[in-house]
Amino acid sequence: MFQAMYHYPAFFYFDPDGISIEFPDLPGCLPCAHSEDEAFQNAREALGLHLYGMEQDGDKIPSPTPIHQLHPEDGAVVVMVDVFMPAVRDRLNNRVVKKTLTLPAWLNAEAEAAQVNFSQVLQDGLKSYLHAT
């Protein structure tokens, strides 16, 4: 089962053109920002998306390195970033996905004449077919 909450250290690098962020335990998770507020927000969002992707891919999620064992480059500030994963998972699992489908012309004409909500009918039909709620 996946964890509900994750806490990872991040390195914030403050440069004249913005803030770059690095998660030493999560290679490839490299958000950036223009302000401190945006940096915290972007770091949390990037952390959630990165961990969600790892969960979906079945990757082993590493334990966060204890802060006292970190050795950031000069000028970096170590910041702890946390993310509440149930909210991330819910948002990503329930996002809308556009699908293209093909119908016989006569069925499309009748459905349009009856003002059918195609998306809702398809969702209801798939839920019924898959025995999903």
Order the strands of the 32-33 sheet from edge to edge: 32-33, 18-22, 5-15, 76-84
Q: Can you give the residue range of the structural domain that contains 40? A: 5-93
Distance separating alpha carbons of residues 34 and 42, to the nearest angstrom: 10
Strands (E), 16-130: 18-22, 32-33, 76-84
What is the pLDDT, as a whole number, of residue 74? 87
Distance separating alpha carbons of residues 43 and 29, to the nearest angstrom: 9
Which of 10, 7, 95, 20 lies closest to 51, judged by CA? 7
What is the pLDDT, as a whole number, of residue 88? 97
- In this structure, the answer to whether residues 79 and 61 fall within a common structural domain is yes
- In this structure, the answer to whether residues 56 and 71 fall within a common structural domain is yes
Looking at the 3D structure of the chain, how many domains does it have?
2
For the whole model, what pTM was predicted? Answer: 0.77
Residue numbers of the chain with a pLDDT score lower than 50: none
- In this structure, the answer to whether residues 19 and 82 fall within a common structural domain is yes
